[in-house]
Amino acid sequence: MKYISTRASSTEPTEPRVLRGFSDILLEGLAPDGGLYLPVAYPKVSAETLNAWRSLSYAELAFEILSLYIDDIPPADLRALVEKTYTAEVFGGHAAITPLTPLAPNLMLEGLSNGPTLAFKDMAMQLLGNLFEYELGRRGETLNILGATSGDTGSAAEYAMRGKHNVRVFMLSPLGRMSAFQQAQMFSLQDENIHNLSVEGVFDDCQDIVKAVSNDLDFKRKYRIGTVNSINWARLLAQVVYYFAGYIQATQTNNNQQVSFAVPSGNFGNVCAGHVARMMGLPIKHLVVATNENNVLEEFFRTGSYRVRSSAETFETSSPSMDISKASNFERFVFDLLGRDGDRTQALFGRALAQEGAFTLTADEFAKIADYGFQSGRSTHADRLATIRTTFEQFGVLIDTHTADGLKVAQELREADVPMLVLETALPAKFEATIAEALGPDVKAPRPAALADLESRPKRFQVMPADTATVQRYIVDHAPV
């Protein structure tokens, strides 16, 4: 399996598309032309194969799916990495790893938050940490990971990479824009290879710095810069697995049953994994993109216009991991939507966004969205409170704020005869203030005993301006060549 950039030109015969192997793009992250990597074609999974996978454990299922995309890691080594990652011990004692919780007929939650940091990001990040350590050891190299987080990516990455050989993590987060729990998860880590940089701005400022550093090819190569954000294909690939796992659990023996997924969305990585699963042949009827007040994606799927927001226009909400106004993974879907036309993708993402901060699809391009099964909806703070309250009162299930966004939109769009799976984002313990606002101070969101004193632990972080050069200087000082 080879990979191409979403911005690779296919019109110039003297400049053929550059093909890369999985292990190279694992360490590289963003493509040199500023695009994102995708496989040259999505492998197809037949109904017979899907049916045969029903008896597999989560780790076995992950191996089968990953094997379709990874051919430069020996199968025995890949299997060992996957089996090391997806264990009940790592994921909260759940043998299924991603168990389903029924709420109503054909409406259920898929539990993705049983990992070490209590968020769905663990599903991919735990594997990514093991893949990085394996590949760097095989090459005898080091890697400096530069990432941006709006809440959960940072802690998931840092917990996955702490203590890993030959890996340093530099994680950017928006100053004061995460919950106290999320912030403490990251800043309380004292490992020498973990560096938390608190940026005076919003998440999009952090993400812009990561992309700017990745686009400085000389700096990137000299200081061995990689990424764990969902612009890294390996992370998105790992997320594809839980769509298959959720489908198998929801449909039992009915191999032809369609299902829909509702996905709380900010950076488009989570739902993009669903798009990949659907392209592989998983019978997904709808992928429901659920946003909060920062509804850039909801607006696009409704109108065909994509307009990023400035920092001043980006709302600070009670579902902070979705306070994103520039969805970096969105380019992958648009590339597919445009018939994999790298020149057109470059025109939209490389020029129009850079110059005007927006683009609008043509009428013909917009009409094609229906072929991909996407729907969208929006949720507000009042909606979150109401959804948390009614879910707890009616079903006895406590959900976090982001999952509430997904569930609210799912209930609006679900069909009676199609199972709707809402992807859980995090455990409610990470958002205690909003849980108390919704349910009153007497309802406490449970947290693991090991995290009981999390917020009171000593914190280690560095505040800095939203400036690429300042971040680069910090990396130079703390990651010698």
Give 75-134 pLDDT, tens digit per residue.
999 999 999 999 999 998 999 999 999 999 999 999 999 999 999 999 999 999 999 999
Residue linked to tokens 């099964």: 373
Helix, strand, or coil here: 36? Answer: coil
Report the relative pairing of strands 37-39 and 3-5 from DSSP bridges.
Answer: antiparallel
Given this model, what pLDDT does residue 14 score? Answer: 44
Please give the single-letter amino acid code of residue 476. Answer: V
Each residue of 121-158: b (16+ CB within 10 Å) or e?
bbbbbbbbbbbbbbbbeeeeeebbbbbbbbbbbbbbbb
Mean pLDDT of 180-207: 93
Given this model, what pLDDT does residue 61 score? Answer: 98
Given this model, what pLDDT does residue 112 score? Answer: 97
The percent of residues in the chain predicted with pLDDT above 70, rounded, is 98
Given this model, what pLDDT does residue 11 score? Answer: 61
Given this model, what pLDDT does residue 449 score? Answer: 86
What sign has the CA pseudo-torsion 353, 358, 362, 366?
positive
Q: What's the predicted TM-score (pTM) here? A: 0.92
Closest CA to 159 of 435, 474, 451, 480: 451
Please give the single-letter amino acid code of residue 447. Answer: R
Mean pLDDT of 442-453: 89
**Which DSSP string corresponds to 96-134?**
TSS-EEEEETTEEEE----STTSBTTHHHHHHHHHHHHH
Q: Which of 121, 211, 326, 408 is catalytic?
A: 121
Lowest model confidence (mean pLDDT) among 8-22, 264-278, 346-360: 8-22
- 121 included as an active-site residue: yes
Residue linked to tokens 């199968």: 75
At 8-27, the pLDDT tens digits run 987 654 455 678 999 999 98
Helix, strand, or coil here: 429? Answer: helix
Please identify, in words, the CATH class of the domain defined by 85-119+233-439: alpha beta
Closest CA to 272 of 24, 28, 2, 37: 37
The percent of residues in the chain predicted with pLDDT above 90, rounded, is 83
What sign has the CA pseudo-torsion 227, 231, 232, 238?
positive
Mean pLDDT of 314-340: 93
Token duo for residue 381:
């703070």
Distance (Å, whole) CA 169 – CA 154: 9
Distance (Å, whole) CA 104 – CA 227: 39
Residue 218 pLDDT exceeds 50: yes
Token duo for residue 354:
């850079």
Closest CA to 479 of 125, 192, 130, 148: 192
Given this model, what pLDDT does residue 16 score? Answer: 53
Residue 255 pLDDT exceeds 80: no
Mean pLDDT of 259-266: 96
Q: Which residue has the higher pLDDT, 177 or 288?
A: 288
Given this model, what pLDDT does residue 30 score? Answer: 82
Lowest model confidence (mean pLDDT) among 30-34, 173-177, 258-262, 361-365: 30-34
What's the mean per-residue pLDDT of the chain? 93
